[in-house]
DNA sequence: TCTGGGGTCCTAGGACCC
DNA sequence: TCTGGGGTCCTAGGACCC
């Protein structure tokens, strides 16, 4: 059996890099990107990292720091990031035979066999140069015989500049050298909770974890952690998956820009989320049978009384018709709504998916009637809204949407909207 | 005052059956 | 006193990821 080789390509400070791309005036300026509602810092340029802005901190806690150093903040601009991501990914697809898009800013490449004809580090450098040239985005490349090791190689490439942004961990000696340097929580799949439990067993570094017997780990933790141990030893247990798996659930939820206390506003918000979720469901060419709706007050406030509720309902037959889910969602809301709370967030979830036409009704169920006109109506809505911007929506979604999220620092949709193309003067 | 959103997988435990 | 045992299915919750 030939041994496999993976590369992990990860964009550097992706959201911040996207924002800088169209603002050459900010090339050397510290930049941060904020989460929805401008709530937390979710990305930082290297200058901002140097100034000590931590990942995930609430903005109000670092407002002074931002001001003091002239750090420029942006609201999340997903239209821009998704488009730039596609450009990076299609560049990678032209360079490697098999690519797994792992997240908006990361991809695994299958480099099995590449090492016979060329130096793997050279190959990594070529990937870096090409992506930089084609998209303006800088990436780091980690190469190793398992995904978990490739992740760590990438981490090393990002951390140590002398590597030139590419680390090849093919040799066992180099693997062990790196593992000895890294704390166990840097390992892919080892989060805060597992780190604590591992430390109690005296396992502090990635190397110590790698050197623990898989059977012991299986006994005290789970198969997942056992797999991680094997992967750290260069045994590939997690395969490359080119095809995006079909989704098992679709969630649409948002924290509100301002707290909701009025039921009519909540109806609008839920309607909006239903409409988004159903649109996604149709894009997946799936139908769903299960709907859940939830709402809650802020978990951070100790002043407001806490309230959180969630309810589900199962349809008789799967559907992807927005109107069907809207009606059910309003019933669920009626059953959960309590006056007097300051609601901070709500959302909907679709689950239990079927391919259209596959669902087997029970013997005594009503026969399924899928009217063609219903399908056409939904299709028309989707087409119109994607071509012309949001032109067609349900009255229950409301027109003003006063509860909608805050995005006060949003950059233009430079690459996806004709009206907002950058101009060269 | 102000704290994101969207996913997956695994496991333990309860319900139920024979 | 001492009240079986094993299998399957489902769900809730926990853990992780970016």
Residues A12-53 pLDDT 10s: 999 999 999 999 999 999 999 999 999 999 999 999 999 999
Distance A193 CA to C14 C1' (A): 10
Asked if A92 contacts A127 with a C-beta cutoff of 8 angstroms, the reply is yes
Which tens digit of pLDDT belongs to each residue from A313-332? 999 889 999 999 999 999 99
Interatomic distance A288 CA / B2 C1' (Å):
37
Query: Which nucleotides in chain B lie closer than 7 A to a protein CB?
Result: 1-11
Residue A151 approaches strand C within 7 Å at CB: yes
pLDDT tens digits, one per residue of A285-313 = 999 999 999 999 998 887 888 888 888 99
Q: How is residue A203 written in tokens?
A: 């396992």
Query: CA of A377: how far to CAs of A272, A323, A392, A414, in Å?
Result: 18, 11, 11, 31
Report which of A284, A245, A283, A242 is spatially closest to residue A101, judged by C-alpha positions. A242
Contact A187, A228 (CB under 8 A): yes
- Residue A274 has what pLDDT? 96
Structural domains in chain A, CATH included, are: 8-168 (3.30.70.270), 171-245 (1.10.150.20), 249-397 (3.30.1490.100)
Length A15 CA → B4 C1' (Å): 14
CA of A261 to C1' of B3 (A): 20
Which position has the higher pLDDT, A395 or A119?
A119
Q: Do A124 and A158 meet the contact criterion of CB atoms below 8 Å apart? A: no
B/e letters for A142-162, b = 16+ CB within 10 Å, e = fewer, are bbbbbbbbbbbbbbbbbeeee
């Amino acid at each position: 059996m030939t041994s496999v080789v993976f590369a992990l390509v990860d964009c550097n400070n992706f959201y911040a890099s996207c924002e800088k791309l169209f603002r050459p005036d900010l090339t050397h300026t510290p930049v941060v990107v904020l989460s929805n509602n401008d709530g937390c810092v979710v990305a930082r340029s290297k200058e901002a990292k140097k100034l000590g802005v931590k990942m995930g901190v609430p903005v109000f806690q670092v407002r002074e720091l931002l001001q003091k150093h002239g750090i420029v903040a942006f609201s999340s601009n997903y239209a821009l990031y998704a488009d730039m991501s596609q450009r990076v990914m299609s560049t990678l697809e032209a360079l490697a035979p098999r690519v797994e898009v792992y997240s908006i800013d990361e991809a695994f490449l299958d480099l099995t066999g590449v090492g016979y004809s060329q130096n793997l580090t050279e190959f990594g450098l070529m990937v870096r140069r090409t992506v930089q040239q084609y998209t303006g985005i800088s990436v780091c490349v980690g190469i190793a015989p398992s995904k978990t090791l490739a992740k760590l190689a990438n981490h090393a490439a990002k951390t140590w500049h002398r590597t030139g942004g590419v680390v090849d961990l093919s040799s066992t000696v180099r693997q062990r050298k790196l593992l000895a340097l890294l704390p166990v929580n840097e390992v892919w799949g080892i989060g805060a909770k597992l780190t604590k439990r591992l430390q109690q067993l005296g396992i502090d570094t990635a190397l110590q974890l790698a050197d623990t017997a898989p059977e012991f780990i299986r006994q005290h933790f789970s198969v997942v952690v056992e797999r991680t141990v094997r992967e750290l030893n260069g045994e590939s247990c997690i395969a490359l998956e080119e095809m995006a798996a079909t989704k098992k659930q679709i969630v649409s939820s948002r924290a509100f820009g301002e707290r909701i206390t009025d039921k009519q506003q909540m109806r609008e918000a839920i309607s909006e989320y239903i409409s988004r979720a159903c649109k996604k469901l149709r894009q997946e060419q799936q139908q769903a049978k299960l709907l859940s709706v939830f709402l809650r007050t802020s978990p951070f406030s100790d002043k407001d009384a806490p309230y959180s509720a969630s309810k589900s309902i199962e349809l008789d037959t799967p559907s992807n018709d927005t109107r069907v889910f809207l009606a059910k969602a309003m019933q669920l809301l009626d059953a959960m709504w309590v006056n007097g709370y300051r609601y901070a967030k709500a959302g909907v979830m679709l689950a239990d998916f079927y391919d259209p036409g596959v669902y087997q009704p029970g013997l005594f169920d009503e026969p399924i009637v899928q009217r063609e006109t219903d399908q056409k109506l939904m299709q028309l809505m989707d087409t119109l809204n994607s071509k012309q911007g949001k032109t067609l929506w349900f009255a229950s979604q409301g027109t003003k949407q006063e509860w909608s999220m805050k995005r006060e620092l949003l950059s233009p949709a430079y690459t996806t909207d004709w009206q907002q193309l950058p101009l060269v003067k």
